[in-house]
Chain A
């Protein structure tokens, strides 16, 4: 965190000043480790084993916050008798279909709901990264459940959890992760001791956690721990995701994703959602508890915001204009489609895939096979110049004279050169004023898209073609100002907030959304950010002039709520769990919820409220169900649906690993998304043959001195000179083993690429003892590319393409490689070296090893 988020890290240092104990788990000793109280080196890609060990530690020692767990989580809920755990399936839950490599989730359901899951095969959900839509709410589940409040029923979630993690012992943590038992116990003890009625603990992760083939399950494991310890919905608790750069949270709220519309409304699928009603019902699930019951109002209001007067109840608010998904349109599928000539044009905005995305060579070859490419960036980045300066030019794979892609480079305004908002990890919107005019032809994204739309509409004006109506009927009337006709960002914020169509009055909460076409809302979860016609995100009241929740600084969605599910900060009767952790509570005299924050609950619903039988929507939420966006009002220790690779996290090895999975026969996530394309390949892992060809684990991350793919730092002298060359960090032990010398060159080989880097031999890297073997890990920064003041080979070139099934995020934080002293070959000799390694490893490009591990021997597995 100190390495990638130094400014946010000041609060960790502040906590440390006040006596907090800081633990840091990382494959390499970083600037965070330097100031942490305890550092735990870990083998990259084994976090579920570590966190699963903590879950077991909690359950075995009964350290869970029992009253919280019983009332607020689904611990007592009884699961279908058809459910079978990975412990019984040697790495598989019940319902696996080897044909599609996906699960049928019927058997995972709560008892009595087996037929109502309606999930069928989840292969389609995987293709559309359907898991992403659950960022604001849980997956569908029936509201009426059977429970055993004694937690003794063998099929209640608590007992299932206990059995599932029973083998994740401190010994197993050591064996899988390479973390000595004493250190693991130190962590588990501190975490549990600092949670409960009087204390809360926070789990902070950064997006490196998501870049694994089991990334979603990493975070699920963390969430399970936080729920067991009562750390959700309470001050000082939670699971905080530190994003990769500013407003990543905002870019899923108002998504730049193929599968979502604003406010986590799913992009319709052409086969499943032919009509507006079918689309809406797929979101709101008639009969389900919770706030998604109003999905029809949110959906209608969104379409009303898009198409204004043209959108009427009679024409389903122009639902027919919405684009439809037909399958996987994720970034990696698109790149492969480019290589195959299926995609003709590409807009690239503030992104540098030639350096920043996994399998850089595939990215560059794809972009070299387009008709046109628009790159908007601050500097001339690698993704704009790959056709003349990329490594494939040296190898002869791209010939500049023949490259067919026409590249349009458009200079972009930086964040200080335009106004707008950032949404950070706490869902807090903070407004930015423009500090300086952008230089030269540089323009804001808002300017670019507004005027692009304006010009397209001008060109289409008068067209009678139905296909052009979607563009021509758009509301596209933002006021502009200044010499360049810059659109008003505040007018966009007003539309996002939503307004009453007849009066134009900005809405103050999403409760005002209507399904009759009388409201237009650009993003329903942001409603209130422009309440009373005031830009609430621009509020800057000092923390010294208000209470510690600081509700008048910026604005947080939903409804300016700073902690989600904060009903959980009070006990089931509505009283604070403790004076020290008082936050939101029930005031019986006034008959309403009150506290420091906006209560995340219906204001006047008493704790004693019990829903009548068969109630749905918000009415179905009981007075002691804090998790109001979940179908059953409970925090999910066990996810009966919505997570495609299992209701519980399970340790699978990374797709590329030198180690046989010590826990199960199944080696890696059986539901991962793979692409059998000639450009792609996966290094062999045990029990496949030849895994020793790539004996070392490599992981990549950031340096403080650089930013992501380097476009904003390798181009700026004061930053570039602080880390001026690509390097690889190796332990003295590995340096000795491979004959690597400090500051000399080394090159790293994977089945995709060879890259070279200067060697830094450092004690900050350590070998690990894993399952009786010594495993070496190396670390690389992923900032370098071939443009800018300082250049170097790109670490991401080493990766292949394997994705998490839930959200289609690539495994780009762990892979296997070989490390050799000296510089890499150049020209065609470089391709020959890769080919030689592929031959030795038995890699046939385009052919993936089967996702289901087929060996039957139990050797090396922890059956005992």
Chain B
């Protein structure tokens, strides 16, 4: 279907749509997470080039991610996901190593308790002692040569959950929703598929762990085809550039914050000390002089690729096909489809798992999609009220 001009939904070339009569081709990012090595050079290059302030010196405990999320002070964010999942094309990293349970249920339970302060927002849930206690059984108790009784020094609810030598299948599955990952093997606490849903290491089952993979992904503003942040901006601070990207003009932003609740990805954010909204500009200043954005320039493995969006989409499709051929069936694209809820992203991704695993919404929809319909209804309602009012007057006079 050919969209209407100024459509709020569906496929669209956003720059001409925004009124650029001689717009260059739409530019964007293709981030191929299958070659990301988590070096965070993108984060550093972005901060250096754009003068982005510090985002805090907090150890988050979310694997090697101490940035936490895309914020006003972090325009690139590398997520690290430790997963007890097979990596498909490779030998299980921990096959044959003695990763069976620890010496006692009580000590396992202690290990599972995280401290209160995790520094994350919304933060890690505190540990799941019962899950860890389950780990504690079934394995050899001879780590230092001496058998140690389960439940030593512990007690209470922990010991009650701990099994002595029961079959693994009997493990109480009381942790997390029942959306078990198929690769999880059914033992121990279930993998939730969300970063930070449980502390690293807590996913181990009593049978030991053999499969493991470590996903890394550099996240960034998606520069949506239909950018809700831009749609709701009352000052015109947010605008569509000739490259089809979305940029905040810091000298116009009045800090109203409408854009923040409008973003379906939770990208744009308010800087606490100045009240204004900030996010990735896709290095608008560099693009203007034909340069590559700082993050893509710094990326050593070409995980972040910058170029004409059309060409990037072709390249990405070819890469997915190659990975499928090489036995990586889990490779898939995210944000590449012009028919998705935001009309496709200017910055799209090759992922190795469900989007939720990386903290991305599975089916983002531009929050202003329903505005016309809402306005129509509001209009109808207003008309109806007006008609009723008129009718009341007319009726009253008769």
Contacts and interface: CB of A to CB of B under 8 A. Distances in A.
* Interface range on chain B (Cβ under 8 Å from partner): 35 or more
B113 A733 contact: no
B375 to A, nearest CB: 44
Contacts of B40: 704-705, 722
A768 B54 contact: no
B159 to A, nearest CB: 14
Contact of B44 (A10, A31, A718): A718
Contacts of A735: 102, 111, 201
Interface stretch (B136-144, B236-244, B255-263, B378-386): B136-144
A180 B212 contact: no
Contacts of B202: 732, 742, 761
B398 interface: no
Contacts of B59: 724-725, 727, 743, 758
A17 B305 CA distance: 15
Nearest to A182: B96
B111 A736 contact: yes
B115 A741 contact: yes
Given A721-B54, A721-B66, A767-B98, A739 B61 contact: no
B86 interface: no
A736 B82 CA distance: 19
B200 A719 contact: no
A692 B44 contact: no
Given A731-B201, A763-B200, A763-B212, A736 B95 contact: no
A186 B95 CA distance: 13
Interface in B80-122: 82, 84, 89-91, 93-104, 107-108, 110-115, 117-118
Contacts of A13: 35, 37, 301-302
B368 to A, nearest CB: 34
B54 A718 contact: yes
* Interface range on chain A (Cβ under 8 Å from partner): 35 or more
A38 B107 contact: no
Contacts of A773: 145
Contact of B93 (A7, A29, A721, A724): A29
B35 A17 contact: yes
B110 A721 contact: no
A724 B57 contact: yes
B66 A762 contact: no
Interface in B32-50: 35, 37-41, 43-44, 47-48
Nearest to A772: B142
Interface in B149-203: 199-203
Given A732-B135, A736-B111, A722 B44 contact: yes
Contacts of A789: 57
B271 interface: no
B102 A737 contact: yes
Contacts of A180: 95-97
Contacts of B127: 741-742
B201 A732 contact: yes
A662 to B, nearest CB: 17
A742 B114 CA distance: 5
B153 to A, nearest CB: 9
A767 B97 contact: yes
A2 interface: yes
A374 interface: no
Residue of A9, A186, A769, A774 with most chain B CB atoms under a 10 A cut-off: A774
B214 A739 contact: no
A703 B117 CA distance: 24
A744 interface: yes
Interface string B46-67: 0110000011111101011011
A137 interface: no
B35 A34 contact: no
Contact of B95 (A2, A17, A183, A705): A183
Residue of A17, A718, A758, A760 with most chain B CB atoms under a 10 A cut-off: A718
A6 B142 CA distance: 40
B121 to A, nearest CB: 15
Contacts of A767: 97-99, 143
A41 B115 contact: no
A256 B45 CA distance: 33
Contacts of B97: 41, 178, 180, 766-769
A760 B199 CA distance: 9
Nearest to A1: B37
Given A35-B37, A736-B111, A10 B56 contact: no
Interface in B289-342: 300-302
A740 interface: yes
Interface string A406-450: 000000000000000000000000000000000000000000000
Nearest to A174: B96
Residue of B40, B58, B101, B302 with most chain A CB atoms under a 10 A cut-off: B40
A733 B102 contact: yes
Contacts of A342: none
Interface string A272-296: 0000000000000000000000000
B33 to A, nearest CB: 11
Interface in A702-732: 703-705, 717-725, 727, 731-732
Contacts of B99: 731, 733, 766-767
A33 interface: yes
A724 B68 CA distance: 13
B218 interface: no
A355 B152 CA distance: 39
B132 interface: yes
A705 B67 CA distance: 12
Contact of B38 (A31, A41, A721, A741): A31
Contact of A723 (B37, B64, B142, B203): B64
A736 B66 contact: no
A786 B96 CA distance: 40
B338 to A, nearest CB: 28
Nearest to A35: B37
Interface in A767-785: 767-769, 773-774, 776
Contacts of A763: 82, 84, 94, 200-201, 203-204, 209, 212
B214 A742 contact: no
Nearest to A36: B90
Interface string A153-178: 00000000000000000000000001
B213 interface: yes
A214 B61 CA distance: 35
Nearest to B326: A19
B88 to A, nearest CB: 11
B214 A9 contact: no
B216 interface: yes
Given A6-B41, A29-B214, A722-B40, A741 B107 contact: no
Contact of A33 (B48, B93, B118): B93
A695 interface: yes
A692 B144 CA distance: 9
Interface string A554-570: 00000000000000000
B61 A736 contact: no
Contact of B107 (A718, A725, A738): A738
Contacts of A740: 110-111
A743 B114 contact: yes
Contacts of A17: 35
A69 interface: no
A741 B103 contact: no
Given A31-B216, A762-B201, A721 B55 contact: yes
Contacts of A761: 111, 199-202
Given A186-B91, A722-B40, A742-B111, 16 more contacts: A13-B301, A41-B97, A692-B144, A695-B144, A704-B38, A704-B40, A721-B55, A724-B57, A725-B57, A732-B135, A733-B100, A733-B102, A737-B107, A739-B111, A743-B115, A774-B140
7 contacts: A10-B302, A13-B301, A178-B97, A721-B67, A735-B111, A737-B102, A821-B110
Closest 6 CB pairs of A and B: A736-B102, A180-B96, A735-B111, A6-B39, A732-B201, A34-B214
